[in-house]
């Protein structure tokens, strides 16, 4: 048996988790001298993760240090990917809790840490970014202790070792005295994290994660709890319905460095990847055929939102994307189900439209963003929360929302949250900041972030996580103003935009191609207004075309994909193509919209 330590890293978004993993990779010389160094954020290997600075998918790496194999499990820090975290913790025996020396433990940390402590994992606390001005490592250490205490940690878990340092500068130590490198932390992992506990008996391995390869198909990942697995061995797969399927291990891999290494046999306690089974789900167990004893299953977070995905039917259909048909869309969405476990896809009455269920706005926007980068065109509807009936009562998902904001903006935050049916439960002062905790329906969160950032001059720090389904809280006010809708198709003109400036803010620049029914701006007051901004100035012999150019046009308002998702109303949609994100009315023709409106009133 080789020496093994399995450790998961938990941290809030932006607390330096991925940077720390990079430093571990460098310190243990995973890159040979002659290999090109792949720079920073090695673990965030898809473009979206690098751009947004968040870890979306949990990943495994493995390093050798002083004759011990350390399996490092990098976990996502965002609430929408909480389902990932819970499962991967099952592979770990210890957890590294990484906390920012200024911000202290954040709400998302609390959620994941609670799961880790419940599983009985041994914690090591790492207080990062002690090089930052205004940091308060001692105060943060006390706050972490309070958090452990509130989460009902055991006596042993409360006696956690603490390391201080800066992953950016590449050092960690047991005191605030800078060290040469991160070896004190690596020594601490070997000292404090227990070796994996293995048990006597027939084979047991639960699938806690999965991978997909176009060459090998679906790959099951998990930690072997009992016995061992050999390449070519015939074993059983215990499924949710109690059936045990017979199958053969075609290929067997362990993690080594940033990749996988093919092996003949893996012993209990190690994390491995198995090829050869297709019909498995997260939570299924590999067992002995003669004596199957599956492990208890892990529940996966239920989706809380749904959106319609349909083909792009705007006049600009097919101009920009490579995959534009409903078959392309269907294949891509069903392929995503292979590895995106909190996602569900259902067909609708319309063959060109699919209903997609996800964990939150970020979860769904990451999927849309990935698809548009791959060359897909589609139309996305307004996000809707999932309503359930529980014991005859109409219920909706609720979230716990935490907002940290400077004193002077606290009342604005409370006002905005209350308008959206949020209840304030905790309010306390943290230095110059007010720390507030609300319970709010998931519906209330749609569009709230952008409003809150506007009201607090960008100072609000907001995080939320799903808690439970509770009775429906009544209607929540939507957008308070109307939109400006294009009457015609063609390039927007500077002349028309300048004339209409007093009507509202524009989302397009002069020269931009627009079409009828496209949302081109926001009106200053309620109600939608159809305007013509493709009209050019009439020229006669008295005026030369180059004179009196209107140079006083305000710059257009830019929207990210998530902001568009939060902005649109029920009769609106988003056209997403590889190079453009446009908001539009579902029904583009003004006459058609009026006819339907008259019919609804009649």
Cα 293 from Cα 315, distance rounded (Å): 58
Q: Which of 371, 313, 314 is nearest to 345 (CA)?
A: 371
The answer as to whether 268 is a domain residue is yes
- CATH number, residue 9: 3.40.50.300
Provide mean pLDDT across the span 202-211: 82
Work out how many domains the chain is built from and give that number. Answer: 4
The pLDDT tens digits for 1-16 are 568 888 888 876 666 7
Same domain? 59 vs 29: yes
**131 annotated ligand binder:** yes
**Can you tell me the distance from the alpha carbon of 457 to that of 454, in angstroms, rounded to the nearest whole number?**
5
Residue numbers of the domain that contains 151? 3-192
Going by pLDDT thresholds of 50, 70 and 90, the confidence category of residue 31 is very low
pLDDT at 48: 47
* 316 belongs to a structural domain: no
Q: Is 128 annotated as a binding residue?
A: yes
Query: How far apart, in whole angstroms, are the C-alpha atoms of residue 160 and residue 192?
Result: 9
Q: Per the annotation, does 83 bind a ligand?
A: no
Identify the pLDDT of residue 265: 87
Residue-wise pLDDT for 294-320, tens only, equals: 888 766 667 788 999 999 999 998 888
Residue 594 among known ligand-binding residues: no
Query: pLDDT higher for 206 or 338?
Result: 206
pLDDT at 14: 62
CA atoms within 13 Å, Cβ hemisphere of 440: 29
Do 32 and 172 fall within a single domain?
yes
Residue 541 marked in a binding site: no
Q: Between 494 and 115, where is the model more confident?
A: 494
Q: How confident is the model at residue 362 (pLDDT cuts 50, 70, 90)?
A: confident
Q: Residue 88's closest CA among 58, 109, 66, 123?
A: 58
The residue out of 256, 287, 318 marking a domain boundary is 287
Asked if residues 274 and 232 have their Cβ atoms less than 8 Å apart, the reply is no
Annotated ligand binding at 129? The verdict is yes
- List, for residues 71-105, the tens digit of each pLDDT value: 888 766 544 455 566 677 888 888 888 888 877 77
Residues 251-275 have pLDDT tens digits of 888 888 777 788 888 888 888 888 8
**Measured between alpha carbons, how far is 262 from 216 in angstroms, rounded to an integer?**
13
> Considering the domain boundaries, does residue 299 fall inside one?
no
Residue 335 has pLDDT above 90, yes or no: no
Does residue 489 lie in a domain region? yes
117 and 31 in a common domain: yes
The Cβ of residue 233 has, within 10 Å, a number of other Cβ atoms equal to 16
At 215, which CATH number? 2.40.30.10
* Mean pLDDT in residue range 504-516: 91
- Whether residue 15 is annotated as binding a ligand: the answer is yes
- 434-454 pLDDT tens trace: 888 999 998 888 878 778 888
Question: Which pLDDT does position 169 carry in this prediction?
Answer: 83
CATH number, position 420: 3.30.70.240
Tokens at 242, concatenated? 């109690």
- What lies within 8 Å, CB to CB, of 418 at 6+ separation is 424
Judgement on whether residues 432 and 514 belong to the same structural domain of the protein: no
28 and 172 in a single domain? The answer is yes
Q: Which residues touch 234 (CB under 8 Å, ≥6 apart)?
A: 246, 247, 248, 249, 289
Is there a binding annotation on residue 16?
A: yes
Which of 471, 505, 520 terminates a domain? The answer is 471
Q: 51 with 183, same domain?
A: yes
418 annotated ligand-binding residue = no
Write phi, then psi, for 211 (nearest 5 degrees). Answer: -135, 165
**Residues 185 and 37 placed together within one structural domain of the fold:** yes
Q: Flag whether pLDDT at 544 surpasses 70.
A: no
Q: 163 with 29, same domain?
A: yes
Confidence of residue 380 (pLDDT cuts 50, 70, 90): very high
Mean pLDDT computed over 383-407: 88
State whether 228 and 186 are in the same domain: no
Q: Are residues 110 and 157 both part of a single domain?
A: yes
> In the listed set 192, 221, 245, which residue is the last one of a domain according to the structure?
192
Tell me: is residue 223 an annotated ligand-binding position: no
Give the β-pairing of 423-430 and 94-100: unpaired
| Residue 216 and residue 75 share a domain | no
Q: Could you give the dihedral angle defined by the CA atoms of residues 361, 366, 372 and 377, in that order, rounded to the nearest 10 degrees?
A: -30
Is the pLDDT at 140 greater than 70? The verdict is yes
Q: For 460-478, how does the pLDDT look when each residue is reduced to its tens digit (9 = 90+)?
A: 877 777 778 899 888 887 7
pLDDT at 53 over 70: no
């Amino acid at each position: 048996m080789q020496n093994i330590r399995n450790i998961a890293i938990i941290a809030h978004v932006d607390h330096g988790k991925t940077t720390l993993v990079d430093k571990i990779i460098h310190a243990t010389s995973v890159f040979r001298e002659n290999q090109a160094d792949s720079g920073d954020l090695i673990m965030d290997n898809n473009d979206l993760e690098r751009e947004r600075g968040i870890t979306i998918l949990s990943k495994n790496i493995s390093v050798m240090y002083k004759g011990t194999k350390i399996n490092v499990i990098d976990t996502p820090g965002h609430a929408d990917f909480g389902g990932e975290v819970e499962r991967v913790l099952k592979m770990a025996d210890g957890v590294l809790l990484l906390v920012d020396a200024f911000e202290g433990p954040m709400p998302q940390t609390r959620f994941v840490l609670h799961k880790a402590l419940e599983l009985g994992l041994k914690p090591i606390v790492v207080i990062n970014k002690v090089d930052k001005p205004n940091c308060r490592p001692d105060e943060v250490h006390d706050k972490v202790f309070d958090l452990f205490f509130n989460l009902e940690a055991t006596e042993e878990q409360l006696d956690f070792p603490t390391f201080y340092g800066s992953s950016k500068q590449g050092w960690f130590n047991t005191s605030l005295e800078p060290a040469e490198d991160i070896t004190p932390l690596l020594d601490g992992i070997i000292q404090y994290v227990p070796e994996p506990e293995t048990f006597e008996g027939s084979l047991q391995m639960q699938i806690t994660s999965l991978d997909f390869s176009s060459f090998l198909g679906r790959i099951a990942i998990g930690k072997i709890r009992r016995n061992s697995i050999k390449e070519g061995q015939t074993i059983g797969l215990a499924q949710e319905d109690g059936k045990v399927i017979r199958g053969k291990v075609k290929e067997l891999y362990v993690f080594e460095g940033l990749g996988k290494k093919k092996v003949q046999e893996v012993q209990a306690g190690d994390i491995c990847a198995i090829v050869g089974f297709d019909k498995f789900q997260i939570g299924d167990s590999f067992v002995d055929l003669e004596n199957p004893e599956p492990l208890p299953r892990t529940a996966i977070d239920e989706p809380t939102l749904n959106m319609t995905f349909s083909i792009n039917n705007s006049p600009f259909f097919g101009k920009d994307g490579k995959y534009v048909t409903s078959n392309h869309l269907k294949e891509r969405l069903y392929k995503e189900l292979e590895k995106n476990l909190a996602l569900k896809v259902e067909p609708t009455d319309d063959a060109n439209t699919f209903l997609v269920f996800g964990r939150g706005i970020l979860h769904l926007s990451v999927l849309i963003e990935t698809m548009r980068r791959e060359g897909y065109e589609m139309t996305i509807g307004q996000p809707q929360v999932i309503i359930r009936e529980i014991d005859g009562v109409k219920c909706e998902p609720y979230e716990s929302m935490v907002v940290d904001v400077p004193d002077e903006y606290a009342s604005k935050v409370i006002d905005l949250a209350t308008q959206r049916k949020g209840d304030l439960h905790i309010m306390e002062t943290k230095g110059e900041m007010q720390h507030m905790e609300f319970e709010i329906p998931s519906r209330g969160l749609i569009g709230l972030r952008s409003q809150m950032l506007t009201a607090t001059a960008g100072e609000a720090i907001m995080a939320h996580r799903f808690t439970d389904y509770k009775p429906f809280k009544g209607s929540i006010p939507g957008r308070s103003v109307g939109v400006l809708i294009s009457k015609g198709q063609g390039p927007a003109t500077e002349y028309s935009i300048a004339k209409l400036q007093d009507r509202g803010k524009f989302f397009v620049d002069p020269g931009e191609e627009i079409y009828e029914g496209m949302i081109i701006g926001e009106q200053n007051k309620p109600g939608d207004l159809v305007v013509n901004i493709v009209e050019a100035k009439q020229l006669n012999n008295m005026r030369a075309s180059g004179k009196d150019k209107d140079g006083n046009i305000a710059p257009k308002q830019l929207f990210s994909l998530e902001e568009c998702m939060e902005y649109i109303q029920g009769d609106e949609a988003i056209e997403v193509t590889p190079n453009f994100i446009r908001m539009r009315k579902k029904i583009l023709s003004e006459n058609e919209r009026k006819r339907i409106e008259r019919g609804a009133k009649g």
